[in-house]
């Protein structure tokens, strides 16, 4: 049975050219980039090339603005905790409830320790209320505003330009989690007043366990990991060299192919969306009223259990993700859909389909062949779930 992978927002297959680029740094060029000898210098130069490749993808003014990390979870933690350490105990964090757990976690941790946090409401598409942001900024003597560029569950884009400019007007710091945006749509960080931006390699066909924090030149920062001079003393620890090289290569490939790929993937996503909405009873699109990533589709199936749909699809070799299983593996309903005000009867039955580089028309055909029967079967098995919304 043909298998179909539509969970690219969780992680992506590693591009074979990325693997090839990494191999020499596992086999031959294993020297420590901090060593003063020749082999060490060669590895350090390779890291600097990767830094340029990452900087180019996001339009950073200088490669030195890129700090390699272990992934976006570390980048987000570093950005938020560093900003608060530099701004001081009186500073506020301004963010939204639809952020990824890697932002919500550190923000809640700060809140529990007495830091002021302003959670901004979002509209039915999950976009933050700009007026609320502006007044929260006005009320805060010092602030960090942190808003994701694209939502991982719905693909909805935030109005980053307006948010960053509002923060700049209030003299606040601005951070964005651009994990789902980078490599899928063009972005140029130097054109916006963004101080910090988080990236992860495994969302753009690079390896897992590596990411980056963009730190605009001149932005004050306190390292999250201390105890070494690596990354200009902004992130201690011997670099994950093969992964960094792979990340750089993945950025270079994304840069070259993004324009063509995004329209190809968008056409597939739209075909899948139309097909599901027209062939499955009680299906509702989430986030469709806003600009979205070209690859993401979030659909709620009324009165059904998303987990049951996921496992039935899995049984037929189709990999998707629910909108409800949160990162901790608990069966909590999606915090993103709840914040958007989606009715509970749809939140529980939400499925995220996320496409990517190796997705093809055949994958869409397969899902459209298999899903309607699964939905019918779930409906015949499901106890009538009461609408609690
Ligand atoms: C929006 C967003 N931010 C952060 C992360 C965490 O990234 P990493 O796996 O590199 O820690 C993810 C991954 O799921 C994500 O989708």
The residue assigned the tokens 């031959």 is 28
Whether residue 138 is found in the same domain as residue 248:
yes
Which residues make beta-bridge pairs with 300? 284, 350
**Cβ 72 under 6 angstroms from ligand 1:** yes
Q: Which residues are catalytic?
A: 326
In a domain, 386, yes or no: no
Based on the fold, state whether residues 84 and 151 are members of the same structural domain: yes
- Of the three residues 253, 268, 288, the one that is the final residue of a domain is 253
98 and 244 in a common domain: yes
Instruction: Kindly state whether residues 376 and 363 are assigned to the same domain.
Output: yes
- Phi (first) and psi of residue 68, to 5 degrees: -80, 140
The answer to whether residue 286 is domain-embedded is: yes
Same domain, 244 and 365: no
- Residue 154 CB less than 6 A away from ligand 1: no
Residues 199 and 333 in one domain: no
**244 shares its domain with 301:** no
Q: Does the beta carbon of 140 lie inside 6 Å of ligand 1?
A: no
The rounded distance, in Å, linking the Cα atoms of 171 and 178 is 22
Tens-digit pLDDT string for the chain (389 aa):
789 999 999 999 999 999 999 999 999 999 999 999 999 999 999 999 999 999 999 999 999 999 999 999 999 999 999 999 999 999 999 999 999 999 999 999 999 999 999 999 999 999 999 999 999 999 998 999 999 999 999 999 999 999 999 999 999 999 999 999 999 999 999 999 999 999 999 999 999 999 999 999 999 999 999 999 999 999 999 999 999 999 999 999 999 999 999 999 999 999 999 999 999 999 999 999 999 999 999 999 999 999 999 999 999 999 999 965 444 355 678 999 999 999 999 999 999 999 999 999 999 999 999 999 999 999 998 765 444 43
Q: Is residue 387 part of a domain?
A: no
Q: Looking at 253, 270, 302, which one is the last position of a domain?
A: 253
Considering the domain architecture, whether residues 279 and 202 belong to the same structural domain is answered as no
Ligand 1 atom closest to Cα of residue 74: 11
**Within a domain: 273:** yes
* Residue 91, domain CATH: 3.40.640.10
Distance 11 CA to ligand 1 centre (A): 9
CATH code for the domain of 298: 3.90.1150.10
Tell me the HSE value of 195 on the side-chain side, using a 13 A CA sphere.
22
Examine residue 388 and state whether it is found in any structural domain, yes or no: no
Ligand 1 pocket test: which of 99, 153, 179, 326 has the largest number of ligand atoms within 8 Å of its C-beta?
179
Same-domain status, 59 and 101:
yes
Domain hosting 326: range is 4-12+259-381
**CA neighbor of 169 nearest in space, from 200, 145, 197:** 145
240 and 287 in one domain? no
Q: Which of 211, 236, 253 is the last residue of a domain?
A: 253
The number of distinct structural domains making up the chain is 2
Instruction: Clarify whether residues 271 and 247 are in a common domain.
Output: no
**β-bridge partners, 213:** 67, 198
> Do both 223 and 302 map to the same domain?
no
């Amino acid at each position: 049975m043909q298998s179909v992978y539509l969970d690219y927002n969780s992680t992506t297959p590693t591009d074979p050219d990325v693997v090839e680029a990494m191999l020499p740094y596992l086999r031959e060029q294993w020297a420590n980039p901090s060593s003063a000898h020749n082999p060490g210098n060669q590895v350090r130069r390779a890291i600097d090339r990767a830094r340029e490749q990452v900087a180019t993808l996001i339009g950073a003014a200088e490669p030195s603005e890129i700090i390699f990390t272990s992934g976006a979870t570390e980048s987000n933690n570093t950005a938020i905790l560093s900003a608060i350490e530099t701004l001081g105990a009186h500073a506020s964090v301004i963010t939204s409830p639809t952020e990824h757990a890697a932002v919500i976690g550190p923000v809640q941790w700060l809140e529990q320790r007495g830091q002021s946090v302003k959670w901004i409401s979002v509209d039915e598409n999950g976009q933050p209320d700009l007026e609320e942001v502006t007044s929260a900024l006005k009320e805060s003597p010092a602030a960090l505003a942190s808003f994701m560029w694209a939502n991982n569950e719905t693909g909805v884009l935030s109005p980053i330009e307006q948010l960053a400019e509002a923060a700049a007007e209030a003299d606040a710091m601005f951070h964005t989690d651009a994990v789902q945006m980078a490599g899928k749509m063009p972005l140029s960080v130097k054109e916006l007043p963004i101080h910090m931006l988080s990236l992860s390699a495994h969302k753009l066909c690079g390896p897992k366990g590596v990411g980056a924090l963009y730190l605009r030149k001149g932005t004050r920062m306190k390292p999250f990991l201390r105890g070494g001079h690596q990354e200009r003393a902004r992130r201690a620890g011997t670099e994950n060299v093969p992964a960094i090289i792979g990340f750089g290569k993945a950025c270079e490939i994304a840069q070259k192919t993004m324009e063509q790929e995004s329209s190809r993937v968008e056409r597939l996503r739209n075909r899948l969306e139309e097909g599901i909405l027209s062939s499955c009873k009680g299906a509702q699109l989430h986030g469709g009223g806003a600009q979205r990533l070209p690859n993401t589709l979030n659909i709620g199936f009324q009165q059904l259990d998303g987990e049951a749909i996921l496992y039935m699809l899995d049984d037929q070799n189709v990999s998707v993700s629910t909108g409800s299983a949160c990162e901790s593996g608990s069966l909590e309903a999606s915090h993103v859909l709840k914040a958007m005000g989606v009715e509970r009867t749809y939140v529980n039955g939400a499925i995220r389909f996320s496409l990517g580089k190796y997705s093809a028309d055949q994958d869409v055909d397969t899902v459209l062949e298999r899903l309607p029967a699964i939905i019918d079967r779930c409906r015949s098995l499901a106890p009538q779930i009461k609408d609690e919304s």
